[in-house]
A and B are shown apart, each in its own frame.
Chain A
Amino acid sequence: MRVLIVEDDREVARNIAKMLRECGHVADTAHDGEDGLALAREAAFDVLIVDRMMPRRDGLSMISALREEGDKTPVLILSALGEVDDRVEGLKAGGDDYLVKPYAPSELIARVDALARRRNPDAVKTRLEVGDLEMDLLARTVKRGGEAILLQPREFRLLEFLMRNAGQVVTRTMLLEKVWDYHFDPQTNVIDVHISRLRAKIDKPYGAAMLHTVRGAGYRLQP
């Protein structure tokens, strides 16, 4: 996967690039909106990581420019502005995800992975399959090894998100944002409890665990 990091803080840009390279990705960096725009135009990237406040051209204007040119590369916006309005503004400008500084590195990597996967035409699928786990999005049914599993609506959405991002790490914050649509940080382990409930339904009866905990990062659904 090839990622472009547009961030005016050189050290931050270097660290992100290093992290991505360690995960086996190719990372390029630009230090202001103009350079970022030029680079994004000239090469094909899988994901753009764009800081919001930059010299010469700010992140949002850079993204708008790309979108106007028909560029649909997924964009993760990085910003110190984290209020609802700021998010809405960022997503309106054409961002696909929004991460508020300060963030954990694992959070950034997980989100970039999720964005890269989003490019696959997964969204139009009506069936998701991971190992022997199947999900029918129209009938709203889940089966493992051909055996039906009864899920609550929220558990269904939680599993759907995990299945769409199968093989990737998803963080607790991502789950809270994408499944519950909350952008705050509960002080208790709410997500863990929901995951363990889901695990009790999709893993426990079948012996082989699919829903793994990634320490310090989040969860991964993998056969």
Chain B
Amino acid sequence: MTQPAGHTWRLPPFLRTTAFRLTLLSAGLFALSSFVILALVYAATVGASMNRADTAITAEIAQIEARYAAGGAAGANRYIVQRSVGGGEFLYLFQDADQRRLSGNISGLPAAPADAQGRLRFVYDRAPADGADGGAGRNARGQIAELAGGHKVFVGMDVEEEARFVSNTLNAVLVASALALGLGIISGAVVSRRFSRRLDAINAAARAIKAGRLETRAPRNHTGDDLDELSSNFNAMLDRVEHLMQRMRTAGDSIAHDLRLPLTRLRGRLEGALIDSDAAEAREAALQRAISDVDELLRTFNAVLSLARLQAGERRRAFETLDITALLRDVAELYEPVCEEAGLEFACDCPGGLALTGDRELIAQAVANILDNAVKYTPEGGAVVLRGRRTGAGALEISVTDTGPGIPMEHRARVLERFVRLEKSRSLPGVGLGLSLVQAIAEVHGARLTLDDGPGAVDGHGPGLRLALTFPAVEG
């Protein structure tokens, strides 16, 4: 029995929410449980009052039977007449064996059928008397007993008050349950409306972002409740995504910038080689230069790839315990001749026993990159020092200090950004990825990269630059 989808009746949006469904469920359960409890109370009350009536009736019949046993029909009759006139709470009817009415305060036996014990429930009309309410169709209970000589006695009791109380109670139970359900639904609607309004705001933000308005953020009420936390996490996630996208965009621009120049140059060379086809030597030289251009391009490309992968956090699996002392001495050994060639004094100051959990290749690469920069920017006659040490706080610090021109304070944050090379140094070789790669490697290791002044300005050198990687102390 499927209906065409277009004709399906749907609840208004706020009633379709999870919050509403949950409150509805809890209201339903509450109504059901209050109904059950009240029903139990009802059954107990009704049972008790009816029992009380039945007991009183049985006792009265026993009285009459006693009179009958002692004084015969006349004795019983006298008693009944006495009691009827006395205006008691009982209804009486005394009949002889031929069903003729002998005495009593009702005219005939009630029409209702009796059960095995002679008990019956019936309705009767009562004339108002003695301050008691009269009325038609009053509820009553009674019992018929056969006496020894064929006489029949009926004793009844008006239970109209009790019946009314009972039916009032029943109504109260039903009304209360219905109210509980109704209030539950209303409060559910109110709560879910509030809740869904806040969720809607978050959803609206998500939709806006999907539609391309990336600066949109989810609203917060700063109460620290669950929805507020959701918004906060959502926003933090968006900030991260936006940051990454910003980086990608910058990277894209920079790649375009950094690759266009060598590609243009390459094209020029190849074209030149094609034209100078007669001068074999010149052509070969052009081709050689073209090859080194391509190598440069490949290097840039590889660096961009490594950086992208690092920032995507793919490398954390290769972590192991590293002998940093050996690692630094190895890198120092690799760079010492380079420094010498560049006319720089080089020293590696690294005590034994330094260890760290990390990726050997990455840390070596970071140190190599920093040294690359130091060598590149420190003029002849300067010095470069690679140092590893434990700080007072137990952190491990790897630093490279040079006597180059340093980086002005206002540019320090910028040099860590991908591809940024300060204008002055654009003419030097290199892709400008160096420090941002070091920064990314530091991030992967939970380390901090700091830039400080070097040893200061002396003899036309300096003030120098001190780059330090600080790896946090590890427990145990």
- A residues neighboring B (CB under 8 Å): 82-85, 100, 102-104, 106, 154, 180, 182-190, 193-194, 196-197, 215-217
Q: Report yes or no: B305 in contact with A216, Cβ–Cβ below 8 A.
A: no
Query: In whole Å, how far is A208's beta carbon from the nearest beta carbon of chain B?
Result: 24
* Minimum Cβ distance to chain A for residue B149 (Å): 112
B33 at the interface (CB under 8 A from A): no
B284-309 to A contact mask, C-beta < 8 Å, 1/0: 00001001101100110111011001
Picked from B341, B361, B376, the residue with its CB within 8 Å of the CB of A187 is B376
Interface status of B133 (Cβ within 8 A of chain A): no
Q: List 23 A-B contacts (CB under 8 A).
A: A82-B305, A83-B314, A84-B359, A84-B361, A100-B302, A102-B301, A104-B298, A154-B333, A182-B334, A182-B361, A182-B364, A184-B361, A184-B364, A185-B299, A185-B303, A186-B372, A188-B338, A190-B335, A193-B337, A194-B334, A194-B337, A215-B291, A216-B291
Chain A residues with CB under 8 Å of B317's CB are 85
CA distance A84 to B372 in the complex (A): 22
Residues of chain B contacted by A188 (CB below 8 angstroms): 338, 372, 375-376
Contacting residues, chain A, for B309 (C-beta < 8 A): 83
Q: Does B368 contact A (CB under 8 A)?
A: yes
The answer to whether A187 touches B434 (Cβ under 8 A) is yes
| B114-125 near A? 1/0 per residue, CB < 8 Å | 000000000000
Give complex CA distance A215, B285 in Å.
10
Interface range for B = 35 or more
In the complex, A189→B292 CA distance in Å? 13
Q: How many A-B pairs with Cβ below 8 Å?
A: 77
Given A82-B305, A180-B330, A182-B361, also A190-B338 (CB < 8 A): yes
Instruction: List CB contacts (< 8 Å) of B54-99 with chain A.
Output: none
- B237 on interface, CB distance cutoff 8 Å: no
* Complex interface: chain A residues within 8 A of B364 (CB): 182, 184
Q: Is the CB of A102 within 8 A of B298?
A: yes
Residues on the B chain within 8 Å of A186, using CB: 334, 368-369, 372
Asked if A184 and B306 make an inter-chain contact with CB atoms under 8 angstroms apart, the answer reads: yes
| Minimum Cβ distance to chain B for residue A156 (Å) | 13
CB distance from A127 to the nearest CB of B (A): 27
Interface residues of B in 347-373 (CB under 8 A from A): 359, 361, 364-365, 368-369, 372
How near does chain A come to B340, taking the closest CB pair, in angstroms?
A: 8
Nearest 3 pairs of A and B residues by beta carbon: A216-B291, A184-B365, A193-B337
Complex CA distance for A100 and B335, rounded to whole angstroms: 25
Give chain A residues whose Cβ lies under 8 Å from the Cβ of B431.
187
Which of B295, B301, B429 neighbours the largest number of chain A CB atoms within 10 Å of its CB?
A: B295
CB distance from B445 to the nearest CB of A (A): 14
How many Å lie between the Cα of A104 and that of B295 in the bound state? 7
Complex Cα–Cα for A45 and B301 (A): 33
B334 and A103 within 8 A (CB): no
Q: Is the CB of A103 within 8 A of B361?
A: no
Those of B395-448 within 8 Å (CB) of chain A: 429-431, 434
